[in-house]
């Protein structure tokens, strides 16, 4: 696997632009805000940033609903601001990838405005239109019974032409018709435009959904009005033709990274089709299997959250072992769609907040693959406390809330439970210091800031050598600059202590050297019997104490270590 692509040795950092830093004090994060914080990113040690969408958009889904692929939304700045950001990042040795949204546009995109005007529009087949069905009583029905990811059905009726268009997300995000060669050519042009402006690659949004199954009802059993059969538009064979076309027509000739988001219950076999070098589609994929290894779907509120360590270990092992030597891997705890990991899997409001944040970093970022931190993760940001529906911005949460309340759910209880998984958890303002609005803006901010910003913020942690931030800096330095970097980047992975219910441990081996990573991922003590290794060096730990791995060890809650060891013959 060691053919030294730059992105294999990178350490990434995802920026949710709207919440990162507001340079012009209008209350919304912007491109100049990122440029101003490049010194901080250099201080942190990352050398790759992924910026969430900044295209012109009505912001139904915070920029993933694109109205113009060639323009910067005025709330985020100008094209000149973007050019400056690229230039300044590159001066610092930081590469930049951006979101490429291939699956859909905004309903305010000129293509869709023209498409919906008539069945004869030259843009009609840029989108997926189908005639209605009718039941025995003559009532109009959707073309299929398929559900949308954001709630309700995946079809939206349009009176102008008496047809439905497909929208697997929001009704303001109509799906593009990838069977149309004109659509393919348009998206090639979009990708090349941004590559020629200097971006170093793309995170391809919702890439698993470009191909659709034939439009017949799902027979999957369900208690819902619409059937959540994601296989109808996820990871289908035709998709690979589209991606091979994009690689050949748009991506060839550039030294770039293309990482895909593959939801829809992607399997290892799917990932290999996308990311195996011989397939020439994507360079790596983000999978979601490790994101929900707790009881967040059943917990009444955050006090009931409990990590399922055996399930998490199984998911990590599946992807590490399944891809090693065959395709490259990506490592991340969360993105802009997922809960804050310290709340989700750690001790977010207890005395072990910092140690749990550090243990989670150790568990993940010494595995094999390219790491991506999500902004604020490096200081241990947590889920906020949402009180009413007015606290939410996420269109998918708001849609589901009103559906459930109309069906009899108690609003307060629904928020306490469903907010554990809302996308809004990741979208609160970045906590820079303890001043008003956490130093994000001097204006009126577009979103909430977590109440704990006075104690959890960048400025205070920069001053504290034992902070979560400074621990993350050590993790990044060990991975990118230390004598251990090749073991961590290119070494093999072997799970260890596989049956232990509380401890996640694994071995990394490369060119005769071995590292052991061992982490107690629970709020309870964990006992580990003596290990048959010789300790060479304690590289990093969440606790400052001497350890003897040859004797029975009692690991304190969230005690975790990165060790170089010698294996006994």
DSSP 3-state of 284: strand
Q: Which of 430, 331, 425, 336 is nearest to 378 (CA)?
A: 430
d(CA 355, CA 346): 9
d(CA 229, CA 264): 9
What does the buried/exposed string (b/e) look like for 508-533 if buried means 16 or more CB atoms within 10 Å of the residue's CB? Answer: bebeebbbbbbbbbbeeebebeebeb
**DSSP conformation class of 1:** -
> Are the C-beta atoms of residues 15 and 37 closer than 8 Å to each other?
no
Chain centroid offset of residue 161 CA: 37
Q: Which of 37, 165, 43 is nearest to 105 (CA)?
A: 165
Half-sphere exposure of 124 (CA within 13 A, CB side): 13
Angle value at C-alpha 68, between 66 and 72, nearest 5 degrees: 95
Instruction: Report in angstroms the alpha-carbon separations of 311 from 23, 307, 335.
Output: 42, 9, 20
DSSP 3-state of 526: strand
Token pair recorded at residue 131: 């005639």
**DSSP conformation class of 53:** P
List 61, 261, 281, 347, catalytic entry = 261
> Are the C-beta atoms of residues 256 and 201 closer than 8 Å to each other?
yes
H/E element, 518: strand 513-520
Q: Is 301 a catalytic residue?
A: no
Instruction: Report in angstroms the alpha-carbon separations of 345 from 503, 525, 561, 567.
Output: 13, 16, 18, 31
Token pair recorded at residue 3: 């053919």
List 205, 270, 283, 394, catalytic entry = 205
Angle between the 411-418 and 395-406 helix axes, to the nearest 10 degrees? 140
d(CA 277, CA 249): 17
| Edge-to-edge strand ranges of the sheet holding 163-166 | 129-130, 163-166, 155-158
Q: Which of 189, 223, 230, 468 is nearest to 353 (CA)?
A: 468
d(CA 477, CA 474): 5
Question: Other CB atoms closer than 10 Å to residue 321's CB: what's the count?
Answer: 15
Count of positions (residues) in the chain: 569
d(CA 242, CA 251): 13
Instruction: Report in angstroms the alpha-carbon separations of 310 from 183, 336, 497, 499, 502.
Output: 44, 26, 11, 8, 8
d(CA 497, CA 513): 20
Q: Is 261 a catalytic residue?
A: yes
**Would you name the residues annotated as active-site residues?**
205, 261
């Amino acid at each position: 696997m060691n053919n030294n692509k730059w992105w294999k040795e990178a350490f990434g950092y995802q920026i949710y632009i709207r919440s990162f830093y507001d340079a012009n004090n209008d209350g919304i994060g912007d491109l100049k805000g990122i440029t101003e914080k490049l010194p901080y990113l250099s201080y942190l040690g990352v050398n790759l940033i992924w910026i969430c969408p900044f295209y012109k958009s009505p912001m139904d889904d915070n920029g993933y609903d694109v109205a113009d692929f060639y323009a910067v939304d005025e709330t985020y700045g100008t094209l000149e601001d973007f050019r400056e950001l690229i230039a300044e990042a590159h001066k610092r040795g930081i590469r930049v990838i951006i979101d490429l949204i291939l699956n859909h546009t905004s309903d305010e995109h000129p293509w869709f405005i023209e498409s919906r005007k008539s069945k004869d529009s030259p843009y009609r087949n840029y989108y997926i239109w189908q005639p209605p069905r009718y039941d025995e009583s003559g009532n109009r029905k959707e073309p299929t019974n398929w559900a949308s990811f954001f709630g309700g059905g995946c079809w939206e009726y349009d009176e102008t032409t008496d047809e439905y268009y497909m929208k697997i997300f929001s009704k303001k995000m109509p799906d593009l018709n990838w069977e149309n060669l004109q659509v393919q050519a348009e998206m090639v042009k979009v990708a090349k435009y941004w590559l020629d402006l200097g971006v170093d690659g793309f995170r391809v949004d919702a890439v698993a959904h470009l191909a659709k199954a034939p439009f017949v009802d799902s027979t999957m059993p369900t208690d819902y009005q619409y059937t959540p059969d994601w296989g109808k538009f996820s990871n289908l064979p035709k998709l690979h033709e589209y991606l091979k076309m994009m690689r050949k027509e748009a991506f060839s000739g550039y030294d770039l990274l293309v990482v895909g988001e593959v939801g829809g219950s992607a399997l290892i076999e799917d990932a290999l089709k996308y990311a195996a070098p011989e397939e020439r589609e994507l360079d790596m994929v983000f999978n979601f299997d490790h994101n929900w290894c707790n009881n967040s779907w059943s917990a009444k509120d955050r006090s009931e959250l409990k990590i399922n360590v055996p399930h998490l270990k199984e998911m990590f092992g599946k992807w590490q072992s399944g891809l090693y030597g065959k395709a490259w891997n990506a490592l991340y705890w969360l993105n802009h769609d997922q809960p804050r990991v310290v709340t989700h899997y750690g001790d977010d409001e207890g005395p072990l907040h910092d140690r749990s944040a550090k243990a989670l970093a150790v568990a993940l970022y010494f595995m094999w693959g390219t790491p991506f931190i999500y902004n604020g993760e490096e200081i241990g940001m947590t889920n906020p406390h949402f009180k009413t529906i007015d606290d939410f911005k996420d269109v998918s949460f708001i849609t589901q809330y009103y559906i459930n309340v109309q069906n009899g759910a108690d609003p307060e209880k629904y928020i306490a439970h469903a907010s554990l998984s809302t996308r809004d958890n990741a979208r609160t303002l970045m906590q820079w210091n303890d001043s008003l609005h956490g130093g994000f803006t001097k204006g009126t901010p577009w979103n909430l800031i977590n109440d704990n910003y006075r104690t959890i913020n960048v400025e205070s942690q920069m001053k504290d050598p034992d902070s979560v931030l400074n621990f993350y800096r050590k993790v990044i330095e060990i991975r990118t600059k230390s004598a251990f970097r090749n073991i961590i980047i290119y070494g093999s992975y072997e799970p260890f202590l596989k049956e232990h219910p509380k401890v996640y441990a694994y071995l990394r081996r490369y060119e005769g050297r071995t590292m052991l990573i061992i982490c107690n991922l629970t709020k309870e003590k964990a006992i580990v019997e003596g290990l048959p290794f010789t300790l060479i060096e304690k590289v990093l730990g969440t606790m400052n104490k001497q350890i003897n791995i040859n004797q029975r060890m009692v690991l304190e809650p969230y005690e975790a270590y990165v060790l170089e060891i010698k294996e006994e013959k």
